[in-house]
Amino acid sequence: MLNNKSILITGGTGSFGKKFIETILSRYPDVKKIIIFSRDELKQFELKQKYPHNRYPQLRFFIGDVRDQARMIQACEGVDVIIHAAAIKQVDTAEYNPTECIRTNITGAENVIQAALQCGVKDVVALSTDKACAPINLYGATKLASDKLFTAANNIRGSKKIRFSVVRYGNVMGSRGSVIPFFIEKKKTGKLPITHKDMTRFNISLQDGVDLVMFALDQHLGGEIFVPKIPSYNILDIAKAIAPECEIEVVGVRPGEKLHEEMITDTDSLHTIDLGKFYAILPSISMTHSENDYITHHKAQKVPFGFKYNSGTNTDWETIESLRTLITEHVDPNFKI
């Protein structure tokens, strides 16, 4: 699928980007070029140490910001595939710096779309978040706007053979700033701060997130928001899995934080299909494909009326034991109680 293709990944030095690069190099040895586009020169320097040019000549490192449309267009010359992972992601950071969040997450999305249309790119997949579903914080609201921009971009492609779609998933196990590394570090203090004892979250590994993007690249018609079927966990179970001996301190729900995460609302269900391993939310307005086109292409069926996908009402749950296994596999191979 990606052999002899040129791929650009925005935010390519982040947790997802590094796992994506590792996966591409492993599965597609004849990939033509991987352009790692980000604004952090230190992270690019560190990645260059891992992938020196004499051994990985297909890697290119571009310093740039998705806010800069001219630089974005320059980076996209000759590119076949774009994975858009760049974003301001921290909820509290977005609340305190709203204009910066909007410029990166919304204006940046527009710039990626325009660059893709101008440069003859064939496939674009943007990363979303569960917080974009019925958002209550600015980060979620900007990602919802970004999702809408990417799905609607299929309506302005004209005669260009380009497809835009989105992948939306929950909290990535072990990613920077996430709860598991935070709890592992806090374990040393003998006390774990949790926001609310009933809080739940969806859970996905970095590799599963990459595999979802691969599925979207291979299967999308354009306009879909792909949602994986993944388990939930309770925040108390994470605490017990990591440090059962620690005291629990309830610190309260932070501004802009939900008690449970949702990836498909009951209103979304009107346009949602079940693909087996995944769901796909279809565009409410599409000038390129009908609902039947998507159902036929994906061999899917519509979800029931009123269906919703919520971490609190999910039927698939991680246990304390399964969480410990996953932490060892995906976060810290030396983890022990």
The Cα 13–Cα 10 span in angstroms is: 8
Q: Are 282 and 273 in contact (CB under 8 A)?
A: yes
| Element of type H or E holding 171 | strand 171-172
Q: What pLDDT is recorded for position 14?
A: 92
Residue with tokens 């008690």: 259
- Ordered by where they begin, the domains of the chain are 6-170+205-229+262-309 (3.40.50.720)
Q: Does residue 131 carry a catalytic annotation?
A: yes
At residue 120 the predicted structure's pLDDT band, cuts being 50, 70 and 90, is: very high
Whether residue 16 has pLDDT greater than 90: yes
Q: Are 38 and 11 in contact (CB under 8 A)?
A: yes
Considering the entire predicted model, what is its pTM? 0.94
Whether residue 171 has pLDDT greater than 80: yes
Whether residue 126 has pLDDT greater than 90: yes
Measured in degrees and rounded to the nearest 5, phi and psi for residue 234 equal -95, 140
How long is the chain? 337
The Cα 7–Cα 14 span in angstroms is: 16
Q: Are 186 and 95 in contact (CB under 8 A)?
A: no
The whole-chain average pLDDT of the chain stands at 95
The Cα 146–Cα 127 span in angstroms is: 9
Query: 130: which strand partners?
Result: none
Q: What is the pLDDT of residues 285-298, one digit of tens each?
A: 999 999 999 999 99
Specify the amino acid at residue 214. M
Q: What pLDDT is recorded for position 1?
A: 86
Q: What pLDDT is recorded for position 170?
A: 83
- What average pLDDT score do residues 253-276 get? 92
Q: What is the pLDDT of residues 64-114, one digit of tens each?
A: 999 999 999 999 999 999 999 999 998 889 999 999 999 999 999 999 999
Query: What percentage of the chain carries pLDDT values higher than 90?
Result: 90
Q: What pLDDT is recorded for position 298?
A: 98
At residue 253 the predicted structure's pLDDT band, cuts being 50, 70 and 90, is: confident
Residue with tokens 């297909």: 58
Q: Are 283 and 153 in contact (CB under 8 A)?
A: no
Of 43, 131, 186, 258, the catalytic one is 131
Residue with tokens 């928001």: 225
Q: Are 294 and 224 in contact (CB under 8 A)?
A: yes
Indicate the range of 38-47, 81-90, 205-214, 246-255 predicted with least confidence. Answer: 246-255
Tokens of 92: 């509290």
Q: Is 61 left (phi over 0), alpha (psi -120 to 50) or beta?
A: beta
Q: Are 233 and 226 in contact (CB under 8 A)?
A: no
